């Protein structure tokens, strides 16, 4: 079982995908690591079981090219890990529609696009696992990163539906909802984020920055430990349908049982305080 062929998206250095590739390879899997730029995955070159490929998950042609190349070389794809994604920091009401479409394309449509490309090969073999990396904020609303939350909420529903609809082909689906995991995602966003001068939310800029960096606090789970726990469950004979782990993951599970009005009040109060 350890010789499985694994495709992972979003594998830039310092991120969750990078750590997952290292862990899958450590378990003896044949790993195809992908990102939009090869140089972003430079450190993975050293591992003999990891092969690097450029992949833009927003491109139908690019996804088909990579999946077909892997099948041609390895003969199959056993596991797809849809990890590629971007943040969508800022007030949802002021998000430009082009950015809304691009974020959904990268986070949600991209995952479905890769799953669709792998599906015929998995269905023919009547075997396979699709792992979608979502977020705890896909189920619990938190302000100032609402576009990202919406994409992960859609991914969660998509995963549940695929869990049912892929049963006839013996293809399993696993949705993972990370809490706080130490990675480079906030740093990448910080390098490009700027609240427009015309925004009506200027007074909340410190809160938006606070929210952008919230997942990188002292209780966040190191990406390597996240990968270790995830890969262990993924490689089980019967992987779970749902898994959540990371900083504050248990707290977010509790929020699911509390009155929604209280939860919305709590998070708005937490991320709207004046500094």
In the numeric block, which tokens belong to residue 86? Answer: 């971007």
Burial (CB < 10 A; 0-12, 13-18, 19+), residue 37, is exposed
Query: What is the CB neighbour count within 10 angstroms for residue 267?
Result: 18
Distances (CA, A) of 165 to 123, 158, 168, 236: 12, 10, 7, 21
Alpha-carbon span 220 to 49, nearest angstrom: 29
| In contact, 148 and 141? CB cutoff 8 Å | no
Query: What is the CB neighbour count within 10 angstroms for residue 59?
Result: 15
Catalytic residue numbers read 148, 152
Furthest C-alpha separation in the chain: 58
């Amino acid at each position: 079982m350890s010789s499985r062929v694994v495709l992972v998206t979003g594998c830039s250095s310092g991120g969750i995908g990078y750590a997952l590739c290292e862990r899958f390879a450590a378990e003896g899997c044949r790993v195809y690591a992908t990102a939009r730029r090869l140089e972003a995955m430079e450190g993975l070159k050293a591992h003999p079981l990891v092969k690097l490929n450029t992949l833009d998950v927003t491109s139908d042609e690019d996804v088909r090219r990579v999946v077909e190349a892997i099948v041609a070389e390895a003969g199959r794809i056993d596991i797809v890990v849809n990890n590629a994604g971007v943040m969508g920091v800022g007030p949802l009401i002021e998000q430009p529609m082009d950015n809304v479409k691009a974020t959904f394309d990268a986070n949600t449509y991209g995952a479905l696009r890769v799953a669709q490309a792998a599906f015929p090969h998995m269905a023919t073999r009547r075997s396979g696992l699709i792992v979608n990396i979502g977020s705890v904020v896909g189920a619990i609303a938190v302000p100032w990163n609402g576009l990202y939350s919406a994409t992960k909420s859609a991914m969660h529903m998509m995963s549940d539906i695929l869990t049912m609809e892929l049963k006839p082909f013996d293809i399993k689906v696993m949705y993972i909802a990370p809490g706080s995991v130490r990675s480079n995602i906030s740093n990448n966003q910080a390098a490009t984020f700027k609240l427009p001068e015309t925004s009506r939310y200027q007074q909340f800029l410190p809160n938006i920055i606070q929210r952008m960096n919230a997942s990188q606090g002292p209780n966040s789970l190191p990406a390597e430990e996240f990968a270790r726990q995830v890969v262990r469950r993924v490689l089980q004979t019967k992987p779970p349908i749902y898994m959540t782990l990371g900083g504050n993951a248990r707290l977010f599970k509790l929020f699911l049982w509390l009155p929604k009005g209280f939860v919305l009040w709590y998070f708005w109060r937490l991320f709207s305080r004046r500094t």
